[in-house]
Structure 1
Amino acid sequence: MMKKILPIVMIAVLIVSCKSNKETSVNGDNSMTSLDWNGTYVGTTPCADCEGIKTVISLNDDLTFTKKTQYLGKSTDVYTENGSFSWNKAGNTVSLKTDEASQDYFVGEHTLTHLDLSGKKITGDLADKYILKQQGVDTLKNLPWKLVELRGKSIENAPKQPYLILGTADNRVSGNTSCNGFGGEFELLEGNRIKFSKMMHTMMACPNMAIENEFMQVLEVADNYSVVNGVLNLNKGRMATMAKFEVDYFVN
């Protein structure tokens, strides 16, 4: 009798084991385990009494986050929150927690979707406005590069923060010199070479034009670039770096 029972028990154990492994595999395949979710997400969400809420969220491997927001058309202030976040049981949603409140976001492929108070996706005509897009780690284009150093000197006493954006659509460069807005064309070549051309800027006068003049001169002669630890360097030949930039999503 025991000889007949043992094979049945063994088959039952195998079935349960296979089912358990299958369930584990399914449960393990989620945003938390299969996506490169750590990084920075950017977007502008709807606002009841302003033009929109510019939002930048950075999720870190150690389950901490930094969230920066700016109420466009209402204030130039940037509000910063730091805290920790946790995943839900399904592994597809994170809850950002601070001392005052928490907010849930659905984690998708290179996206972070702001959820409503009940933890559901917002629907309607404005649904897409609640989706923040992940920024590429090594991205060069379509980022607001803030000028932080010019010919070895930190940027100080500028009428306005100088920056540049290298656009992908038509290889146009645009930005601010610290006084005037500027635009032109750029070309990326092999060997991290770069060339700016057809540069133009507005003609407004400012008390301090030194930064503008030097910035424009750098763009005229720069012929190569490098991106090291999130810092963009513009160089000429093998000379010392002429200009250094850091990404600042609120600079413009």
Structure 2
Amino acid sequence: MMKKPLTSLVFVALLSLTACKKTGNVAKETSAADSTQVTRTVSGMYEGVLPCADCPGIETTVAFNDDATVSKTILYQDRDKTSETEKGNWKLNGPYVEVTFADNQKEFYLIKTDSTIAILDQDKKEVQTDLASHYILSKEKPLEPKTLNGNYIQGEVGKGYYQTLSLKNTTDNEFDVAVTFKAATKKGCEFKGKGVLVNNRIEVNLKDTNPNLKAIMTISFDSKTATVSTSKFNERYDLMYFCGGGGTLGGDYNRE
């Protein structure tokens, strides 16, 4: 039997080794690409209305940002228009999106499609009751910051007392927020501060203006109306700090 030259065997072995390395590299590249694609699919803002025992529903908005941060905002319908936002971080954990908030509380979501995610229980299971569809959040397009620029009026211009809420987008999702008043009296509401657009709401930390205040002032939008409130109902009186004569920054303002 004719034996193959040693050089030929070495050459075949080198080819095999090179092929294995290439296959491994391709697998790694494919895996990385798949991970990037999943991340891009998850990133975005999702909305839905969860069931509520003593109200029509809980408006829920969750935004997964590209920098692995997350913000979740809830608002109880037919309550007091207060909306509270939690912030944390998210990561992919197998087929799940695992969210960890500042208090180390965890939540789990399942990617259903490119535009929907399901809220899971702590056992990472989907809700199986007749209300299951209410635990599906759909991807929505966030508000463009510059479209919120302008003046919003509370009251009627030229007829007694009225307040003006002014919003000016500065950089990215940041805003200059101001409230002024016009009236024959010298007492009214005046405010200047900085806000950030989070889940289609502008949030203003009043502590940045006065260290003694605790409230987060929120500005939510519906059609041509901006509603000023606080993230917690029992902190709404902080909105009176900037006003004289018993006034408040809170309430509905109609776009000018």
> How does the TM-score come out when normalised to structure 2?
0.49
* Structure exhibiting the larger radius of gyration computed from Cα positions: 2
> How does the TM-score come out when normalised to structure 1?
0.50
